[in-house]
Structure 1
Amino acid sequence: MLHSLHLRDFVIVRELELSFSAGLTVLTGETGAGKSILIDALGLLLGERADAGLVRQGAERAELNAVFTPDAQPGIAAWLEAEALQGDDGQLLLRRVIDSSGKSRAWINGTPVTLAQLKSLGELLVDIHGQHAHQSLLRADAQRALLDDYAQAAALAREVRDAYRHWQGLLGELQEAERNQSAYEAECERLQWQIDELAALNLAEGEWPELQTEHKRLHHAASLIEGVQSGLNVLADGDENCQSWLASVQHQLAGLADYDAGINETLGLLEGAEAQLADAVHALRHYADRLELDPARLSEVEARLDAVFRMARKFRLPPEDLPRQLQDWQARLSELGGTGGLEGLQARVAAAENAFRDCATQLSQQRAAAAIALETAVNAQLPELALGSSRFAITLLPLDTPAVYGLEQVELQVANHPSAPLRALAKVASGGELSRISLALQVVTSRLAAVPTLIFDEVDVGIGGKVAEIVGRRLRELGEARQVLCITHLPQVAACGHQHLQVSKTSDAGGVVSAITELKQAERIDEIARMLGGVTITETTRQHAEEMLGIAG
């Protein structure tokens, strides 16, 4: 959950330090006081793009810091571990600095990170439902994504997308091949001929440098044998050799050491030289045992080198590149359908289509089951949102031609009264109805979401009275299991908060400044009374506000 937020020189905030509690936190204030600043700040800390206009006028930079406590979310811990960004003491620290030129930097637990990393982590931490979120429900892609998320089928939807693109890519190759059949067949024949040539050579990866090394050794075997024997004579086997000379010197100096112990240091060095000389003689004898003149093998290696070199010259390639070129040609021929030509490519297209349809069918089944569950849950919410006569449905419309997202389009539908037919949400729902249906969907889907913190930015626009009270209760119930932040202009919703923050705006010599204050019980009564009564606040209004707080809990 979000534990605290610190802002400095951000928009119209000079400096702000806030602590958040579990449950439902409501933010209220006069219109234009800057209630959206909190959402904007969190959005930036969670990876949104920044610009210079976010820095308070006259300041060099804006600084934003947030502290989360992610202990209960294994997905967050796993992400931090995978990115090597773990923190200390069970806390997660996010920091963003934006300078007056618009450039920004970001940190997670003190380590510099990219915006992509910040955004990836942000999706695990906070889910923001903006005040215009209901408008996205009019888009087909948003409706489909909503159902896929509820069905926990987002990963399967990505598999369907990838399978579709693979199928369509092969299909494009097949169509191109059919349009240019003669050129296609010629390329297949050329590739097969080249592959046969290189495959017959059977040159292994790394064989070319090994052949060169062996040839050099065999070609100079006589010189090597002569040189090694000469070296052994000098070091150990000759009448006068290094080992005997070294032993003689050691013997002489050992006798002198009795007169001056200073010679012992030299004797120690000579003993080391004696050991190294013995090792060198041993290694040289071992090498000499393996040396032999082998004209037959030399002839074989020279023939192999010549065959490889001729093949490399034929294909105008460095000899060491021939094995890799063989693999490339084999892969290209496989892409074109192998030795089967067009028939082989047609078989690959058919296999890719079958793979897509198998995956898409699984997705369709998951969508169908989730659609029933989601529409049932949403319909249960509607009566309390003054939509009792409406009926909500999720319909899967089969496509004549498969698409990148599957075999059907997802359409949210509604009927305004029991006898009315279901029609697309965009064609039936008014702004107020759409807002309430959106809220019902958000409440239902948020219960299943994995993110620990949910933010609702004036999603209660267009409702009031009894419905507003019910919305407040729903948000409070959601806050029993999750941390919920809600920016609201409705006193019924504000009264349901476990924590109440008030946003205010003042002017001083430095300009307009926004501030956020946590309200105590008496202050909450005054704020809710203001929301109820407007400019003139009477004692009756305060009593009404106190009563609302008492009823809310």
Structure 2
Amino acid sequence: MLDDLEIRGLGVIDRARLELRPGFTAITGETGAGKTMVVTALGLLLGGRSSAGSVRKGAERAQVDARVTIDPAGAIADLVDDAGGEIERYEGDDGTPRADLLIARQVAATGRSRAWLGGQSVPASRLAEAGERLVAVHGQSEQLRLIEEPAQRAALDAAAGSAAQIALTEVATAFDRLAELRAELSQLQAGAEAREAERVDLRELVDEVERVDPQPDEDSQLLARIERLSHREELRAQIGEAHGILAGDDAPIGSLRDLSRDVHSRIERSLRNDPSLDRALEAAADLDYAVDELATLLAGYLADLDTEGIGELEALDDRLAAIEELKRNRRLTLQELLEAYGNAGTRLLELAGDDTRIPVLVEEVAEAEATLKNAAESLSALRRATADELSARVSDELVMLAMPNARFEVVVTEAGEIRRHGQDRISFRLRPHPGSDALPLAQGASGGELSRVMLALEVVLAGANPVPTLVFDEIDAGVGGAAALEIGARLQRLARSSQVVVVTHLAQVAAFADHHLRIEKSTDGEVTSSSITELDAEARVAEMTRLLSGLSDSSTGRAHAEELLRLAAETAPTAAS
């Protein structure tokens, strides 16, 4: 329940505080006094769009603060806790656990907006999430929305209660599942040609690689081998000369092997006279060994060169040409080619898996379509049953709202396709009097009739609506006389189960309120301000007189006001019955 509302710097309101109580509270005032600002303030608290234009002229910011009583173990408390906010827990007079929640919204003159929930700064969307569980605001904009199908469908589903919510969830879940399966199937089917082309290419790759059977780095090894065999005579000449220098018998000054041995012999003889030559002798021995080893290596190389490569060069050229052609055709290096070959088997299995997935998906889509159809038909059956009941109950309420011959009808027809909200078209229709056609609200209802239809729906849905506070902004527009009295009585009845706040310009409606607030404007010639006052019995009579006659001191108007208040008091038990 909304306990109090403080408004600062909003529109014509400089600073005002509303203390709200259980039951029916009426808010009245002269045109332009700022009654609409109260609804605007609530809209901001409920996460509505903010505007710099709503900030009072000369003020740096507009701010709205509210204190709300909530269930400390309810959904709102959980939402506040998730947001990091806090609530103040206490025990009510009746021993029931209660909690106070503070909500705030601030709009700077620059247009920047901030919001707080339980003292924690939160985005406006989080306020909206909490607000939809706390307060429902009904005004002329809501009346306009009532003529649109989404609002009518939501009202019908609300009348069906939790069963409709369960059915809606089943339809939405089945709809989303079917959409996922269809998207996957469409993607696989659309890519069938591309996958077949990829399969053909991969099979050709496998065949080509297996036919040539290249080995890792074979192209480099072949090229090196071909280079060696192609220059065999030059290699033989060069290495033969090198070997002759090392160990040949026909060198002019002897071979390098003979020279190194001579060096070793001379150092060895000198060591007898100078022991310090021991390291030189070791080096000379190493030189002997190195010359012998190199000579042996070159001799072996020459021996191999004499025997290898006979008839081999042509085969090597053919082998290298085959590998190079494979690389060129695939535009890959040998390493990349072998990697592609290694991955081809796995990819071919995957592509085969896609083919096997398609018939499975076709079956799954068919099953999902059947599931969605069944869920949608169950929801439709529930809606049709609820439509009959809602039609009768709202029609009964319209009788009590001075429309005794009106008939309200909820028509449920099949849309031809199933959407996330079901397969039904919902149409609210009104037959104002016998003999007339039942027309959609957008075509057949006046503003006053639309106001009464909305109120009748709200009364009927009150039990299914978990929102504890209902705010009506001039829902009585276009209504007067007996109809206005009936609207006041129905609002009073609605206030037995919910906190009801009504902005009205009709005394016939305000007379049924449990509490009466008046918004007054004043001006110093330059700046206009508004204040909010709770009226005592005498002040209430004066305000009712003003509403009736335009003059707060009219004797005729005063007598009428007192009569209205007395009538409201007398009929209050009947209205609540």
The answer as to whether partners of 1:337 and 1:343 remain within 8 angstroms in 2 is no
Tell me if 1:183 matches 2:194: yes
Asked whether the 8 Å contact 2:114–2:121 carries over to 1, the reply is: yes
Aligned pair count reads 426
Q: CA deviation at 1:462?
A: 1.3
Q: Does 1:404 align with 2:404?
A: no
CA gap of 1:337–1:345, structure 2 versus 1, over 3 A, is farther
- State yes or no: 1:517 paired with 2:544: no
Equivalent in the alignment of 2:490: 474
Alignment-derived partner of residue 325 in structure 2: none
| Structure of greater Rg | 2
Unaligned stretches of 5+ residues in structure 2: 90-98, 203-334, 570-577
8 A Cα contact 2:12 2:530, kept in partner: yes
Query: 2:81 aligned with 1:81, yes or no?
Result: yes
| Contact 2:77 2:87 survives alignment (8 Å) | no
Q: Give, in angstroms, the shift of residue 401 of structure 1.
A: 2.5
The one-letter code sitting in structure 1 at the alignment partner of 2:367 is: A
Corresponding residue SS for 1:448: coil
One-letter code aligned to 2:460: V
Q: Does 1:24 align with 2:24?
A: yes
- Measure the CA separation in 2 of the matches of 1:405 and 1:543: 54
Map of 2:133 onto structure 1: 124
Secondary structure, counterpart of 1:91 in structure 2: strand
Q: Summarize deviations over 1:28-63 as a string: whole Å, max 9, x none.
A: 111111101111011101111212112211111222
| 2:69 counterpart residue number | 69
Give the corresponding residue for 1:210.
none
What is the letter of the counterpart of residue 170 of structure 1? L
> CA-to-partner distance for each residue in 1:482-529, whole Å, 9 max, x for gaps?
110000111110111101001111112661111111111000000000
Q: Report 1:308-327 matches (<5 A).
A: 314=339
| Structure 2 equivalent of residue 382 of structure 1 | 398
Aligned to 2:295: none
**Residue identity opposite 1:526 in structure 2:** A
Q: Which residue of 1 aligns with 2:110?
A: 101
Q: Which residue of 458, 482, 503 corresponds with 1:487?
A: 503
Aligned equivalent of 2:307: none
Change (3 A) 1:50 1:329: farther
Tell me whether 1:57 sits opposite 2:73 in the alignment: no
**Alignment check: 8 A CA contact 1:62 1:98 kept:** yes
Q: 1:424 to 1:416 in 2, by over 3 A?
A: same
State the Cα distance separating 1:148 from its structure 2 match: 1.5
* Superposition deviation, residue 375 in structure 1: 1.3
Which segment drifts farther, 99-108 or 417-426? 417-426
Matched residue SS, 2:59: coil
- Per-residue CA deviation, residues 140-185 of structure 1 (Å, 9 max, x unaligned), is 1221111112223246435423532442343355455545542355
Q: 1:342 aligned to 344, 358, 370, which one?
A: 358
Matched, 1:395 2:411: yes
CA distance in 2, matches of 1:188, 1:141: 50
Residue type matched to 2:465 in 1?
A
Cross-structure match for 1:12: 12
Letter in 2 for 1:359: A
The Cα of 1:11 is off from its aligned counterpart by: 1.7
For 1:325-376, what per-residue CA distance to the aligned partner results, in whole angstroms no more than 9, with x for missing partners?
x9x999x98xx98552432221222122123223222322321222122112
Q: 1:551, CA displacement in angstroms?
A: 1.9
How far apart in 2 are the matches of 1:456 and 1:190?
A: 71
Q: Pairwise CA RMSD of aligned residues?
A: 3.2
Give 2:17's aligned amino acid: E
- Helix, strand or coil at the partner of 1:132: helix
Preserved contact between residue 29 and residue 503 of structure 1 (Cα < 8 Å): yes
Encode CA deviations 1:296-332: one digit per residue, 9 max, x unaligned: xxxxxxxxxxxxxx99x94799xxxx9xxx9x999x9
Q: What is the identity, as a one-letter code, of the residue corresponding to 1:119?
A: A
Shift of 1:403: 2.8
CA distance in 1, matches of 2:340, 2:394: 68
**Contact 1:338/1:344 (<8 A) preserved:** no
Q: Distance in 1 between matches of 2:197 and 2:451?
A: 62
2:449 corresponds to which letter in structure 1?
E
**Paired residue for 2:514, among 484, 487, 498?**
498
Aligned to 1:157: 168
Equivalent positions of 1:32-431 (< 5 A) are: 32-71=32-71, 74-89=74-89, 90-152=99-161, 153-154=164-165, 156-175=167-186, 177-178=188-189, 181-183=192-194, 314=339, 338-431=354-447
The answer on 1:543 being equivalent to 2:565 is: no
Taking structure 2 as the reference length, what is the TM-score of the superposition?
Answer: 0.68
Counterpart Cα distance in 2 of 1:464 and 1:187: 77
SS of alignment partner, residue 50 of structure 1: coil
Residue 365 to residue 189, structure 1, CA distance change in 2 (3 Å): farther
Separation in 1, partners of 2:200, 2:37: 67
8 Å CA contact 1:2–1:453 kept in 2: the answer is: yes
Deviation at 1:402, TM superposition (A): 2.3
Alpha-carbon distance in 1 for matches of 2:445, 2:414 = 24
Contact 2:86/2:119, CA 8 A, preserved across alignment: no
Deviation readout 1:396-426 (Å, 9 max, x if unpaired): 1012222332121111122233344433332
After superposition, the Cα gap between the structure-2 partners of 1:314 and 1:446, relative to the gap in structure 1 and judged at 3 Å, is farther
Aligned residue for 1:451, secondary structure, equals coil
Contact kept, 8 Å, 2:462 with 2:497, in 1: the verdict is no
What stretches of structure 1 of length at least 5 have no aligned partner? 192-309
Comparing 361-370 with 153-162, greater Cα deviation is found at 153-162
Shift of 1:134: 1.9
The code of the aligned residue for 1:424 comes to P
Give the AA of the match of 2:179. Answer: Q
Which residue is equivalent to 2:267? Answer: none
Question: Is the 2:376–2:418 Cα contact (8 Å) retained in structure 1?
Answer: no
1:433-478 deviations in Å (ceiling 9; x for gaps): 2222222112222342101100011111111111111110110111
Q: Output the amino acid matched with 1:104.
A: S
State the Cα distance separating 1:117 from its structure 2 match.
Answer: 1.0
**Partners of 2:83 and 2:122 within 8 A in 1:** no
CA pair 344-464 structure 1, distance change in 2 beyond 3 A:
same
Give the conservation status (yes or no) of the 8 Å contact 1:447–1:478. no
> Alignment identity in percent?
38
Q: Secondary structure at the match of 1:349?
A: helix
